[in-house]
């Protein structure tokens, strides 16, 4: 790379993010979120003591992109694995990165009880209202009326119930210290998302309890939309059902 | 050495602590509740961690996390709970994580009952979860032996980077017997440089089970198989009791082997030269002991608290060179020594 002398470098790849091409579809929200996590790890100076737990889902290969010690979990079990690790090494910073099928369907018990215990771990929860990896089936967060490969006429409440709001649900638990819902659909939201991810990690660093950031993430491929339409769908449709905001903030961070 | 009078479950828990186990994750189920209860009191005393998980599924993945982080870790449960753990056990075997899983078996299938049973033999020795793997399976028949095998289990798990199961029936867990705790010095164990400790001054470590490339997955599975073959060469344990002059053999493990010993004493008083072969490692199975005995003893009675599971391995060992008869009780019923005497006498009298 040509260095132009006299100019200050204002943008570069976070050190915790490995210089490789990801396997994500063009326009996918996972890549943006990976980068935010890496930036926060760099800024907090915790790369050498951070441990990630990858899910089963589109982000299963997360360990190829982040330069930290990692586990790859079974579907839904990341919070239990993170718990086992954190209990052995309380000084490490342990986070799980999970999709909605992983975190809010097959792994609901592990998710809820990590929060119940106030486990000092952080979850980055990717809510894309769909099962990405398996080809676009209904997720627990699929919106009413949303078409997926297993709700071909749209999600009907009488057959398939309603979308689950994990942030609101977990915020009721005393062990949950920081809970926020963000989006990565445009620059404004990306900035907010990064702030929330940073606060979630800070909550863990201060030993205040469980922290979780729900990221409304676009999946143009399985939503059958252009990347631009997908980001608009997040903002115009998803946010109505999943309002953004901080649902719980520990007083130590205020 | 001081002798302590303890029930099997508590003795297993204390043995684990004395063997350096510092992390316990479990979920209550009868008849093994004394293990988590004991650990909830004992772990804090030694600076360890006791955690009651929300399910056996969560508990086994906490074991995954702790073993991956380099901790000496165990979980315990009984049959229905062990069924729930099977997914995690498969992942633990795939990721080659050392740990101890205790199964104090009760009668199944389904919720079954809470009385002793040996009907999880297949599940324990033949896989249980999905994929090509095996656990190293240790089957004590006394509380003292449960203590010794528990202590050895952690070293064996570390030596082979493979999960180990202690397989006892409800009696082993509930019975009270005098025990001595004496930890053998550990052998030199491989360095745990692969564990998750934070990538400080080294390349990042990864604990995973996904291998999308079949060439790599085959290599990985062959590596696991190679370890299992090495175990089969080095770790087989079996007890021979009065087999030298035997005309008939009873094959049994765990509590049934103790009942068989009483039956054998009665049979010998009656003039029947009976002996016992008791597998202590159920995996790797002592096939050779049965292969050898079949060259001189032509009648073998396999007795189990199941409808016939270990009998299949005995038959594999014998390979058609002796007559193998099965006698079992199920659902929590325990064969009496009278029943074993009668079955053995019948087998002896039978013309082949
Ligand atoms: C026990 C088990 N059941 C099912 C699967 C198949 N599976 C893999 S990923 C997945 C869902 C992925 O959706 P999500 O968690 O929302 O993540 P995304 O791919 O959308 O990021 C399923 C059902 C599996 N791997 N393991
Ligand atoms: S399927 Fe959706 S979530 Fe998965 S990589 Fe593609 S866009 Fe991203």
Work out the burial of residue A138: count CB atoms within 10 Å of its CB; fewer than 13 is exposed, 13-18 middle, 19 or more buried: buried
Indicate the residue among B206, B234, B262 that finishes a domain. B234
CA dihedral B268, B273, B278, B279 (to 10 degrees): -170
Number of H helices, E strands in chain B: 12, 15
- The DSSP 8-state label assigned to residue B323 in this structure reads E
Nearest CA in chain A to B69: A85
Residue ranges of alpha helices (H) inside A62-213 are 78-88, 100-101, 108-116, 157-160, 166-171, 187-205
Q: Do B249 and B223 belong together in one domain?
A: no
- How much distance in Å is there from the Cα of B61 to the middle of ligand 2? 27
Whole-number average pLDDT of chain A:
97
Q: Which atom of ligand 1 is nearest to the CA of A100?
A: 16
Nearest CA in chain B to A92: B198
- The reply to whether residue B206 touches residue A60, judged by beta carbons under 8 angstroms, is no
pLDDT at B351: 82
Residues of chain A with confidence (pLDDT) below 50 = none
A128 ligand 2 Cβ < 6 A: yes
CATH number of the CATH domain containing A196? 3.40.50.970
pLDDT at A3: 59
pLDDT at A2: 56
Q: Do B117 and B149 belong together in one domain?
A: yes
| CA distances (Å), origin A231, targets A27, A191, A219, B191, B254 | 9, 15, 9, 49, 63
Q: What total number of domains does chain B contain?
A: 2
A128 ligand 1 Cβ < 6 A: yes
Strand order from edge to edge, sheet including B248-251: B238-241, B274-279, B248-251, B299-304, B323-328
A59 ligand 1 Cβ < 6 A: yes
The Cα of B67 is separated from the nearest Cα of chain A by a number of Å equal to 8
Q: How many residues does chain B have?
A: 352
Among partner residues A70, A85, A112, which is closest to B66 by beta-carbon distance?
A85
Answer yes or no: is A78 within a domain: yes
Q: Do B243 and B222 belong together in one domain?
A: no
How many alpha carbons fall within 13 Å on the CB side of residue B267? 30
Task: Please state whether the peptide bond connecting residue B31 to the residue before it is cis, i.e. omega within 30 degrees of 0.
Answer: yes
Query: Which structural domain, as residue segments, surrounds residue B199?
Result: 4-234
pLDDT along chain B (352 residues), means of 10: 94 98 98 98 98 98 98 98 98 98 97 97 96 98 98 98 97 96 92 97 98 98 98 98 98 98 98 98 98 98 98 98 98 97 97 78
Among partner residues B73, B88, B204, which is closest to A74 by beta-carbon distance?
B88
Q: What total number of domains does chain A contain?
A: 1
Best CA proximity match to B29, nearest among B93, B112, B123:
B112
Q: Do B228 and B267 belong together in one domain?
A: no
**What pTM, to 2 d.p., does this model score?**
0.97
CATH number of the CATH domain containing B24? 3.40.50.970
Candidates B53, B198, B202, B220: best to mutate against A (most CBs of A within 10 A) is B198
Q: Do B8 and B78 belong together in one domain?
A: yes
Answer yes or no: is A20 within a domain: no
Query: What is residue A214's three-state secondary structure?
Result: strand
A40 ligand 1 Cβ < 6 A: no
pLDDT at B1: 77
Nearest CA in chain A to B88: A74
Among partner residues B55, B73, B205, which is closest to A109 by beta-carbon distance?
B55
Q: Cβ of A40: how many Cβ atoms within 10 Å?
A: 25
pLDDT at B231: 98
Among partner residues B51, B57, B207, which is closest to A87 by beta-carbon distance?
B51
Nearest CA in chain A to B71: A88
- The reply to whether residue B57 touches residue A109, judged by beta carbons under 8 angstroms, is yes
Q: Do B113 and B77 belong together in one domain?
A: yes
Indicate the residue among B168, B200, B234 that finishes a domain. B234
pLDDT at A239: 98
Q: Do B131 and B243 belong together in one domain?
A: no
A75 ligand 1 Cβ < 6 A: yes
Q: Do B165 and B299 belong together in one domain?
A: no
Q: Count contacts between A and B (CB, < 8 Å).
A: 132
Q: Do B285 and B175 belong together in one domain?
A: no
Asked whether the beta carbons of A72 and A54 are under 8 A apart, the reply is: yes
Residue ranges of alpha helices (H) inside chain B are 8-18, 34-45, 56-68, 79-94, 121-125, 143-160, 170-174, 214-234, 254-269, 287-293, 310-318, 337-349
Asked whether the beta carbons of B72 and B19 are under 8 A apart, the reply is: yes
Work out the burial of residue A36: count CB atoms within 10 Å of its CB; fewer than 13 is exposed, 13-18 middle, 19 or more buried: buried
A246 ligand 1 Cβ < 6 A: no
Asked whether the beta carbons of A50 and A93 are under 8 A apart, the reply is: yes
Pocket test of ligand 1: the residue of A24, A74, A102 to mutate, having most ligand atoms within 8 Å of its CB, is A102
Residue A71 tokens, joined: 């586990």
- The reply to whether residue A88 touches residue B58, judged by beta carbons under 8 angstroms, is no
- The reply to whether residue A72 touches residue B206, judged by beta carbons under 8 angstroms, is yes
Handedness of CA B76, B82, B86, B90 (dihedral sign): positive
Q: Do B222 and B247 belong together in one domain?
A: no
Q: How many residues does chain A have?
A: 254
ipTM: 0.96
Q: Do B248 and B214 belong together in one domain?
A: no
Query: Which structural domain, as residue segments, surrounds residue A55?
Result: 30-249
Question: Which phi and psi (to 5°) does residue B274 adopt?
Answer: -100, 150
Strand order from edge to edge, sheet including B23-26: B49-52, B23-26, B73-77, B100-105, B164-169, B136-138, B281-283
A99 ligand 1 Cβ < 6 A: yes
Residue A124 tokens, joined: 């980055």
Residue A21 tokens, joined: 């091409």
Q: Whose CA is nearest to atom 8 of ligand 2?
A: A28
């Amino acid at each position: 790379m040509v260095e132009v002398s006299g100019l200050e470098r204002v943008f570069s790849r976070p050190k915790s993010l490995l210089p490789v091409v990801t396997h994500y579809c063009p326009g996918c929200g996972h890549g943006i979120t990976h980068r935010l996590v890496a930036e926060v790890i760099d800024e907090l100076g915790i790369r050498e003591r951070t441990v990630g737990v990858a899910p089963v889902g589109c982000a299963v290969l997360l360990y190829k992109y982040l330069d930290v010690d990692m586990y790859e979990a079974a579907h839904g079990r990341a919070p239990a694995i993170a718990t086992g690790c954190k209990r052995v090494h309380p000084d490490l910073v342990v986070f799980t990165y999970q999709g909605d099928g992983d975190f809010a369907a097959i792994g609901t018990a592990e998710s809820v009880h990590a929060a119940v215990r106030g486990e000092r771990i952080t979850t980055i929860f990717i809510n894309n209202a769909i099962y990405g990896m398996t080809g676009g089936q209904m997720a627990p967060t699929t919106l009413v009326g949303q078409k997926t490969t297993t709700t071909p006429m749209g999600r009907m409440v009488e057959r398939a119930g309603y979308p689950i709001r994990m942030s609101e649900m977990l915020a009721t638990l005393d062990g949950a210290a920081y809970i926020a819902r963000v989006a990565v659909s445009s620059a404004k939201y990306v900035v907010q998302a990064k702030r929330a991810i940073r606060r979630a990690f800070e909550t863990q660093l201060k030993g205040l309890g469980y922290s979780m950031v729900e990221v409304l993430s676009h999946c143009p491929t399985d939503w059958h939309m252009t990347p631009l339409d997908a980001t608009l769908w997040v903002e115009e449709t998803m946010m109505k059902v999943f309002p953004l905001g901080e649902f719980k903030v520990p007083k130590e961070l205020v | 050495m001081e002798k302590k009078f303890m029930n099997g479950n508590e003795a297993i828990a204390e043995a684990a602590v004395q063997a350096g186990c510092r992390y316990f994750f479990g979920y209550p189920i009868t008849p093994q509740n004394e293990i988590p209860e004991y650990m909830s009191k004992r772990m804090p005393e030694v600076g360890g961690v006791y955690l009651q998980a929300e399910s056996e599924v969560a508990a086994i993945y906490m074991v995954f996390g702790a073993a991956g982080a380099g901790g000496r870790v165990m979980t315990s449960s009984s049959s229905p709970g062990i069924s729930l753990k099977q997914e995690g056990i498969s992942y633990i075997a795939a990721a080659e994580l050392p740990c101890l899983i205790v199964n104090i078996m009760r009668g199944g299938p389904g919720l079954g009952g809470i009385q002793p049973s040996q009907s999880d033999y297949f599940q324990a020795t033949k896989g249980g979860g999905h994929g090509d793997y095996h656990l190293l399976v240790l089957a004590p028949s006394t509380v003292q032996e449960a203590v010794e095998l528990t202590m050895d289990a952690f070293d064996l798990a570390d030596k082979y980077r493979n999960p180990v199961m202690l397989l006892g029936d409800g009696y082993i867990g509930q019975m009270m017997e005098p025990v001595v705790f004496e930890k053998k010095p550990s052998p030199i164990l491989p360095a745990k440089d692969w564990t998750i400790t934070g990538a400080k001054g080294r390349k990042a470590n990864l604990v995973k089970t996904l291998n999308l490339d079949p060439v790599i997955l085959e290599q990985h599975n062959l590596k696991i198989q190679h370890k299992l073959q090495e175990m089969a060469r080095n770790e087989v344990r079996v007890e021979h009791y009065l087999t030298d002059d035997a005309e008939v053999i009873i094959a049994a493990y765990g509590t049934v082997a103790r009942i068989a010993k009483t039956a054998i004493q009665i049979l010998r008083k009656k003039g029947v030269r009976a002996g016992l072969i008791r597998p202590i490692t159920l995996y790797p199975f002592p096939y050779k002991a049965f292969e050898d005995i079949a060259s001189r003893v032509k009648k073998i009675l396999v007795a189990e608290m199941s409808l016939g599971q270990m009998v299949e391995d005995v038959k594999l060992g014998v390979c058609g060179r002796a007559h193998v008869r099965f006698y079992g009780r199920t659902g929590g019923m325990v064969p009496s020594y009278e029943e074993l005497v009668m079955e053995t006498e019948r087998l002896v009298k039978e013309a082949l």
